[in-house]
Amino acid sequence: MNLQLFDTYERKVRPFEPLVDNKVGIYACGPTVYNFAHIGNLRTYLFEDLLIRVLVANGYEVNHIINITDVGHLTSDADTGEDKMELGTKRTGMTAWELAEFYTEAFQADLAKLNILAPSVWCKATDHISEQIEFVVDLEQKGYTYATSDGLYFDSRKLKSYGHLARLDVEGLQAGARVKLGERRFVTDFALWKFSPPGEQRQMEWDSPWGRGFPGWHIECSAMSAKYLGDYFDIHCGGEDHIPIHHTNEIAQTEASKGTRLANFWMHGYFLQMDKAKMSKSTGDFLTLDVIGERGFSPLVYRYFCLTAHYRSQMSFSLESLEAAKTALTRLYETAFSWGEPGTVDEGTLTRYFDCLNDDLNMPRALAVVWELVRSNLPGDVKKATLLRCDEILGLDIANWEMDQVDVPDEVEELVKAREAARASKDWAQSDELRDAVNKLGYAIEDTPGGAKISTLD
């Protein structure tokens, strides 16, 4: 089966064809770096990693761009007062610049831990201020802007196609609007450039033809994607929350300026839903990769967990289901390890596997094929070779997995030896007593044909 992908713009699955030869340009909306990424954020990057691995497997040469939104406004115009970047600087004592750098590095480290392939280019909004200003100047010359006392705005009603991506009901939006218009002329108008508040010195601000200030959020993506991928490129992705506002506005800017619709495919990763642990970023109380790591779940367990749901479905998170993923993944690792060296690949399995993936990245079904392979009667070396090919997409690093080497204290070692002796003389009472003693010290014993296997008790 040839690759087919769901396009939010057309709201359907359709065949994927690159715009140029076999090259694919992808722009993925990156994080705003005022805090750690939570596991919900990371699900979206896992989806994009899946997409990229499948494109590569289909023989395409992928040029993958991720942006870093490292400029946010520091003086809030929200009703509640302080904005997130400012809270971040207060919380940590860092400057806005230090804050951005710190959380950018933390984010990149998280991606690496999740075995997410690094993009071709990382681009920061603050490194592309002039490109953004040029973009806005062009929009201004084409008559799509107007100024208010706090910034330069995009006049969304000038663009007939505005809101097509999200199928926005503009009249309905206006009727049900919760947000104050302020000086904006229409509810869907948005800032291209915001002025620094009078009499205040922002940590991040630049001169522009309209006055000192900083770029609106949406313009960075239109400007940077144009720079690295051209005005019209293959795939633009991000989280589902970006459909109605951010991506809608990116499209509006680019259509107004360049006359193209920006990307051929628009793809969106859907949210992770939390049960008890809420993703309340405002309190700083949310689950990060490090937090679940402290609870005994490795990053690749989280990766596996995410692979069990389709990227276009919201997924329910709980420690219970993460535990299920951990058990399944451990079984997969141990079983694959037991197969030894790889032999020849089973092409039938591989074909079924990639057919699932080429059908809009249906990883849950592809994973079912993997488990059928695992439980099949094929020889171990064939299973191993086939599984390793599957792992080029799974990204679980199956080839390098090894049994945990547990450091066993001498005390425990002695008890285990004594127990082995007791078992050899069939003194089961003594043997069980010694096993209890080992358990009390925090270690578990499993009797295998190769001798006692010792592990730490959870």
Q: For residues 106-165, which are near RNA according to CB under 7 A?
A: none
Neighbours of 161 (CB within 10 A): 11
In the complex with RNA, the residue whose CB is nearer, 101 or 240, is: 240
Distance between CA atoms of 9 and 243, rounded to whole angstroms?
A: 9
Instruction: Decide if residue 81 touches RNA (CB under 7 A).
Output: no
Both tokens assigned to 202: 């922002």
Sole binder of RNA in the list 216, 299, 342, 395 (CB under 7 A): 216
Sole binder of RNA in the list 4, 92, 120, 362 (CB under 7 A): 362
User: Residue 376: CB partners within 8 Å, gap ≥ 6?
Assistant: 349, 383
Q: How far is the CB of 182 from RNA (least distance, A)?
A: 10
Stretch that binds RNA, among 92-100, 154-162, 187-195, 396-404 (CB under 7 A): 187-195
Q: Is 451 left (phi over 0), alpha (psi -120 to 50) or beta?
A: left
Distance between CA atoms of 216 and 193, rounded to whole angstroms?
A: 5
Q: How far is the CB of 452 from RNA (least distance, A)?
A: 8
Question: Applying CB under 7 A, what is the total number of residues that bind RNA?
Answer: 80
In the complex with RNA, the residue whose CB is nearer, 231 or 240, is: 240
Q: How far is the CB of 139 from RNA (least distance, A)?
A: 16
Sole binder of RNA in the list 105, 285, 290, 372 (CB under 7 A): 372
Instruction: Decide if residue 169 touches RNA (CB under 7 A).
Output: yes
Contacts with RNA, 381-420, as mask; x by CB under 7 A: ----------------------------------------
Distance between CA atoms of 24 and 443, rounded to whole angstroms?
A: 51
Phi and psi torsions of 15, nearest 5°: -60, 140
Q: How far is the CB of 411 from RNA (least distance, A)?
A: 20
Distances (CA, A) of 367 to 46, 115, 278, 284, 370: 15, 18, 29, 34, 5
Instruction: Decide if residue 347 touches RNA (CB under 7 A).
Output: no
* SS (HEC) of 224-284: HHHHHHCCCEEEEEEEHHHCCCHHHHHHHHHHHHHCCCCEEEEEEECCEEECCCCCEHHHC
Binders of RNA in range 425-444 (CB under 7 A):
428, 431-432, 435, 444
Instruction: Decide if residue 423 touches RNA (CB under 7 A).
Output: yes
Binders of RNA in range 305-334 (CB under 7 A):
308-310, 313-316, 318, 320-321, 323-325, 327-328, 331, 334
Binders of RNA in range 32-51 (CB under 7 A):
32, 37-38, 40-41, 43-44
Instruction: Decide if residue 344 touches RNA (CB under 7 A).
Output: no
In the complex with RNA, the residue whose CB is nearer, 20 or 109, is: 109
Q: How far is the CB of 346 from RNA (least distance, A)?
A: 16
Exposure letters 46-78 (e unless 16+ CB within 10 A, then b): bbbbbbbbbbbebebebbbbbbbbbbbbbebee
For residues 191 and 163, the answer to whether their CB atoms sit within 8 Å is no
Binders of RNA in range 225-264 (CB under 7 A):
238-242, 244-245
Rounded to 10 degrees, what is the CA torsion of 429, 430, 434, 437? 70
List the end-to-end C-alpha distance of the chain, in Å, as a whole number.
Answer: 44
Q: Which helix (H) or strand (E) holds 409?
A: none
Instruction: Decide if residue 31 touches RNA (CB under 7 A).
Output: yes
Distance between CA atoms of 329 and 303, rounded to whole angstroms?
A: 10
Instruction: Decide if residue 447 touches RNA (CB under 7 A).
Output: yes
Question: How many residues are present in the chain?
Answer: 458
Distance between CA atoms of 70 and 370, rounded to whole angstroms?
A: 40
Find the helix packing angle between 299-307 and 319-338, rounded to 10°. Answer: 100
Q: How far is the CB of 61 from RNA (least distance, A)?
A: 26
Sole binder of RNA in the list 5, 24, 26, 29 (CB under 7 A): 29
Q: How far is the CB of 244 from RNA (least distance, A)?
A: 4
Q: How far is the CB of 21 from RNA (least distance, A)?
A: 30
In the complex with RNA, the residue whose CB is nearer, 58 or 308, is: 308
Q: How far is the CB of 377 from RNA (least distance, A)?
A: 8
Instruction: Decide if residue 364 touches RNA (CB under 7 A).
Output: yes
In the complex with RNA, the residue whose CB is nearer, 18 or 162, is: 162
Both tokens assigned to 342: 């790889």
Q: Are strands 145-147 and 151-154 parallel, antiparallel or unpaired?
A: antiparallel
Stretch that binds RNA, among 52-60, 89-97, 186-194, 379-387 (CB under 7 A): 186-194
Binders of RNA in range 192-211 (CB under 7 A):
194
Q: How far is the CB of 8 from RNA (least distance, A)?
A: 10
Distance between CA atoms of 203 and 187, rounded to whole angstroms?
A: 29
